[in-house]
């Protein structure tokens, strides 16, 4: 007999609260929808304050999945504001059980021309913000005896890539942070893992395609093929739904002994 949509088998996170940073579009939004479909209350996050667009997202996810959903705006470059936001989420939705550190920035430039300010911004959002969020959420998880921390890293955290020094450094650091947290919590019911996607067709990647097209005088389709050809042997983009499904697995009971993993979804690039 197949489980019904309201059965525990289909709603394994009923009563849990998930905070996904950078979740108003792309991978983060897909993860939010996936965890909502499994019953979790959702704390959406974006850099900007609430808008008509974010209000519509809140209504859509809440009505589709029948779970509480709220949107929180915060610029993650301000590390001192992250713990107060975690406290606000806990007060309004409940203690955070699942933390998905997804928010990220990108800047592509030769090393010798790379702006120092961009270096600082990327490390603040891509690496320091996950540290602050973990530090803020982990005590609640340990106290409640269950927790899942999922860091969205990148295949660029496993290999070097030219012209992306801050992004590569931050994603390598995020994988290191993942391992350290996983070991520190190894004897507890709180896990920490990282997902390392290759090319996922998100707004962030679309901007890189557009920049490549402009730089090389290509149309969008040719630029996308060139991007995939260099770094994705499968010649196909990873979908946001595939990343969300893996995040759902890492948040599940079946993944209770997956700890400190850096799971790449890159069409075979890291296998070379």
Residues annotated as catalytic are 167
The three-state (H, E, C) secondary structure of the chain, written as one string: CCCCCCCCCCCCCCCCEEEECCCCCHHHHHHHHHHHHCCCEEEEEECCCCCHHHHHHHHHHHHHHCCCEEEEECCCCCHHHHHHHHHHHHHHCCCCCEEEECCCCCCCCCHHHCCHHHHHHHHHHHHHHHHHHHHHHHHHHHHHCCEEEEEECCHHHCCCCCCCHHHHHHHHHHHHHHHHHHHHCCCCCEEEEEEEECCECCHHHHHHHHHHHHHHCCCHHHHHHHHHHHHCCCCCCECHHHHHHHHHHHCCHHHCCCCCCEEEECCCHHHC
């Amino acid at each position: 007999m197949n489980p019904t949509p309201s059965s525990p088998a289909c709603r394994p996170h009923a009563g849990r609260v998930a905070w996904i940073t950078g979740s108003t579009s792309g991978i983060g939004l897909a993860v939010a929808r996936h965890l909502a479909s499994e019953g979790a209350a959702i704390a959406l996050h974006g850099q900007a304050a609430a808008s008509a667009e974010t209000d519509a997202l809140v209504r859509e996810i809440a009505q589709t999945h029948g779970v509480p959903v709220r949107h929180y705006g915060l610029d993650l470059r301000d590390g001192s504001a992250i713990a107060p936001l975690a406290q606000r989420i806990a007060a309004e939705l409940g203690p955070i059980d699942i933390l998905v550190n997804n928010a990220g920035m990108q800047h592509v430039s030769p090393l010798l021309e790379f702006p120092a300010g961009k270096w600082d911004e990327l490390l603040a959002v891509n690496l320091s913000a996950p540290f602050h969020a973990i530090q803020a959420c982990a005590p609640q998880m340990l106290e409640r005896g269950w927790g899942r921390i999922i860091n969205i890293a990148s295949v660029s955290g496993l290999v070097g890539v030219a012209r992306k020094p801050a992004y590569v450094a931050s994603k390598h650091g995020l994988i290191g942070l993942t391992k350290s947290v996983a070991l520190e919590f190894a004897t507890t019911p709180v896990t920490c893992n990282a997902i390392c996607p290759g090319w996922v067709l998100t707004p962030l990647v679309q901007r890189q395609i557009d920049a490549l097209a402009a730089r090389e005088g290509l149309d969008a389709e040719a630029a996308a093929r060139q991007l995939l050809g260099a770094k994705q042997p499968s010649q196909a983009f990873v979908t946001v739904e595939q990343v969300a499904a893996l995040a759902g697995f890492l948040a599940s009971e079946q993944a209770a002994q997956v700890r400190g993993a850096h799971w790449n979804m890159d069409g075979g690039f890291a296998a070379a």
